[in-house]
Chain A
Amino acid sequence: MMIIQVQDLVKRYGDFVAVDHLSFEVDRGEIFGLLGPNGAGKTTTIRVIMDILQPDAGSVTVLGQPPGRAKAQVGYLPEERGLYRKLKVMDNLVYLAELKGMSRPAARERATGLLERIQLEDWASRKVKDLSQGMQQRLQLIASLVHDPEVLFLDEPFQGLDPINVERVKGFVAGLHQEGKTIVLSSHQMNLVEALCDRILLINRGQAVLYGPLAEIKREHAPNAIRVRVSHVPTDLPGVVEVEPDDGAFNLALAEGASPQEVLRALVDRDMQVQSFEVSPVPLEDIFVAVVSGEEEEDDGLA
C-alpha cells in the first residue's frame, strides 16, 4: 500500500529549479532509498514532504493527507541536525514528542524505552552537551522517532559516524523495518543503501533518473561482461569481443546483444573445465556514477 505519493513536484528558488517535475511513491513497510549527488534536490524534496517548504507545483500526500496534516505520523532526522544542548536528554525527547502532539506522560514513557534501546538510560537526566559525539548521534536518531511515527525520513543518517556506530544504526534501522515502519533513507554511502533498501529513487538536478526495485535496476545496468575461471579461453567464443586475464581468471567483455548463456554453452560444448562462471556483479555506486556522469556528458555534448 502506498504511503507517500509525490506527483509532478516542482520547487524553484528564484530562477533555480531545485525539483523539476518529480514523481514517485513509497510503499508501506519498505525501506526506500532516496539518492543523488549533492544539490540534486533530495533535501528540498524531503522538506516539501515534511511541510517545511511549499511546492510551486505538483502534489504531495502523506498517508493520503496533505503533508501538514500528517506531521504526527512522520519522523524526520534532518541532514542539518542538532538538539537543545543545554537541556537534559529526557527534556529534549519529551519536548520534541510534545511538539508532534504526544501527551507528556506518553512521551516520557516512550522516551524511557527508546533510551534503554540505545543504552543511554543512565544519561536521561544529563545535559545533551555532556554526551559524547557518538551518544549524541544515537540520541538524535531516537529523537526523530520518539513520537512513534509510521514513516521515518533519515537524511544522511550515517554521516560522520564511526564504523561501530554505522553498524549500530544499521541494526537499528533494520529493527524498525521489522517492526513495520516505513523508512525513507537518503545517503551517499551506496553500500549501506544497497544493504538496506528495497527500492530506490536516484535524483539528479531535480529529476528522477532511476526509480524502482533495487534488484531490477541492478539487473538492467549489469555490464555485458562475464568473469570465468578456466584453464584458457578459446578465441572463437560467440559474442566475446575482449578477453582480459585477471588474477587466475578471465574477464570477458561481450558484444551488444550477446548472451552470457551462449558463452557458457560454448564452453561446456568444448568440454572445458569451468571452475566458476558469473555474470559480473555491478555495485550500485558504479551505476550511480555512470548515470550521473552520463547525464553530464550529454549536457556537455549539447553545449
Chain B
Amino acid sequence: MDWRKVWVVARHEYLTNVRRAGFIIMTAIVPVLGIVVLLFGAFFAGQARQLGAFFEKQFDVGDKAIGVVDESGYFSHILPAYQADFVPYGSEGEAEAALETEEVSKVLIIGEDYLETGRVVVMSMGSGFGSAVVSDSATVRAFFVDHLLVGQVDPALQERAADPMDVESRVISSGGETQGEGPWGFVFTFVVPYFLAIFLVMSIFVSSGYLLQSVSEEKESRVVEIVVSSVRPVELMTGKVAGLGALGLTQVLVWVISVMAFSGGAVALLAVAGAVSIPARVLILGVVYYLLGYVLYAILMAGVGALGSTAQESQQLAGIFSFFAAVPYMLSSFLFTNPNMLIARILSFFPLTAPTMMMLRLPLAEVPWVDVAGSIVVLLLSIPAALWVGAKLFRVGLLIYGKRPTLREIWWILRGDGERG
C-alpha cells in the first residue's frame, strides 16, 4: 500500500465534497436550529406557562364550545368557570341542531345512570376522532370532576382532584447522579442527545452516500480506468473511505460543538440550572459507533458503487442497505418507551442495524454492557468481512462498463474466478 497515494485520494475526496452545497446545508442545520431554539427560548422565557397552555390547547378539544345534554342531574347548572366552554341543552334534538349549525363542536349526552355506569355519549360531526379527543381532554376531565365534587369536598381538594399532577421529570442513573432536572432538563438529557444520535446516523449515510456517488461518478465518466492505472484499487478505496470519513467527522464535530455551545448558551441566556447536555458515555460511545458504522457502510457502498454502470443504478443497488438502516428508525416510537426491548437488543447484534440501533438507544437509557460490548465486537468482526467482499466487488466492478452484473456474475466475482476485461 502506497500511503502517499492514499493521502492524495483522501485529500481530493475531502476537498471536492466539502464544497458541496448539500454538505454545507446539512452541516449548518444543527447550529442554525440551535440558534433558532435559543432565540425562541429567550424570547418566551418569561412566558413559559402561557406557552405551555398554548401548546396544550393545540392538542385539546379545540376552541369551540361543547354542548351538554344532562339527564343525570349533576351537570344541570354549569359552574361559572365552565360557562364559556360548555353550553347546556334541554334535549338531544336541540343539541343536534346546535351541532349542525356549528354552534358547538361536540355534544356530551350524560345518561340517567351516569353515576353507576359512567356512560357518556359523545356526538360530533364528520369523523369519530372528536370522541377520542374528548376522553383525553384535561378540560373535559376537570369539568366532570368539578361538577361531581362541588360542595362535597374542600375546594382545594376539589381543585387537586381535577388536576392531580404537575409532573417534573427527575431520572436517577445507576451512578446515582440526577439527570433531567428542571423544565429544560428533559430536553438536554434526552431530546438533544437523541436528535444528535439521529443526526450522527444521518451523517453516516450522507458520507457513505457521497462515497457511493464518488465511485459511481468515476465509473460513469470512465475516468476510473486512468485512476486505477495510477493507484491500486485498494489504495483508491482506502483513500476514499478515509477522506469521506474525515468529511463526516468534520460535520459531526460542528454539530457536537454547536450543541455544546447551544446548551452553554441556554445556561447563560435562560438561567437553566444543570443543563447537563450529553453524558460522556453517550458521547464517546456515540463516536465509536459512528466510526464503526461509517467504515462498515462506506466499504459496502464502495463495492456497490462500483457495480452499477450509472450513478442511478448504483443508488438502486444501495437501496438494500438503506432499508436495514431504516429499520431502527421504524422502531423509534417504541424505543422511546422501552429502549431495551427484545427486538432492539437483537437488532443491536446484527451488523447492518447495530450502529443505528445502538446510537438511538444510548441517549434514552442505560444500555446493558453486554449489548455495548457485543455490538462492538460484531462490528469489528464484520468490517474485515465487508472489506473482503467490498474490495473484490470494487476492484472487478470498476472495469465492467455498460451493464450491471447479474447476481450470478456477482457470485462469480466473489468466488474469485478472476477479473473481467
Binding site for B on A (CB under 8 A): 11-14, 18, 43-44, 47, 50-54, 56, 68, 71, 74, 76, 78, 80-85, 87, 95-96, 98-101, 143-144
Contacts and interface: CB of A to CB of B under 8 A. Distances in A.
A118 B230 CA distance: 23
Contacts of B226: 76, 78, 81, 96, 143-144
Interface stretch (B157-165, B196-204, B412-420): B412-420
B8 interface: yes
A13 B420 CA distance: 6
Contacts of B412: 14
B397 to A, nearest CB: 13
A100 B226 CA distance: 10
A14 B418 contact: yes
Contact of A80 (B225, B232, B418): B225
A186 to B, nearest CB: 14
A101 B227 CA distance: 12
A78 B222 contact: yes
B228 interface: yes
A52 B399 contact: yes
Interface string B380-420: 00000000000000000001010000000000100001111
Interface of B: 4-5, 8-9, 12, 16, 217-218, 221-223, 225-232, 399, 401, 412, 417-421
A56 B416 CA distance: 13
B418 A82 contact: no
Contact of B225 (A13, A44, A51, A78): A78
B230 A100 contact: yes
A13 B222 contact: no
Nearest to A143: B226
Contacts of A83: 221, 223
B421 A13 contact: yes
B221 A85 contact: yes
B421 A47 contact: yes
A52 B223 contact: no
Contacts of B225: 52, 76, 78, 80-81
B243 to A, nearest CB: 12
Given A82-B222, A85-B221, A99-B9, A13 B230 contact: no
A144 B408 CA distance: 35
B18 to A, nearest CB: 14
Given A80-B222, A80-B225, A99 B5 contact: yes
B229 A50 contact: yes
Given A14-B412, A71-B230, A80-B225, 15 more contacts: A11-B421, A14-B417, A44-B421, A47-B399, A50-B229, A56-B418, A76-B226, A78-B225, A80-B222, A81-B223, A83-B221, A83-B223, A99-B5, A99-B9, A101-B4
Contacts of B231: 99
A76 B418 CA distance: 23
A99 B227 CA distance: 7
A47 B4 CA distance: 23
Given A12-B418, A95-B12, A84 B230 contact: no
15 contacts: A11-B421, A13-B419, A50-B229, A51-B232, A56-B418, A74-B229, A76-B229, A78-B229, A82-B222, A87-B16, A95-B12, A99-B5, A99-B9, A99-B231, A144-B226
B401 to A, nearest CB: 6
B421 A51 contact: no
Q: Which of A50, A95, A99 has most B Cβ within 10 Å?
A: A99
A68 B12 CA distance: 22
Please list the 8 inter-chain residue pairs (A to B) with the smallest Cβ-Cβ separation, ordered nearest first: A82-B222, A82-B221, A99-B230, A78-B225, A50-B229, A44-B421, A76-B229, A80-B222
A52 B229 contact: yes
Contacts of B418: 12-14, 56
A133 to B, nearest CB: 14
A53 B421 contact: yes
A43 B421 CA distance: 8
Contact of A84 (B5, B223, B401, B420): B223
B221 A84 contact: yes
Given A84-B223, A99-B9, A54 B4 contact: no
A127 to B, nearest CB: 12
A56 B419 CA distance: 11
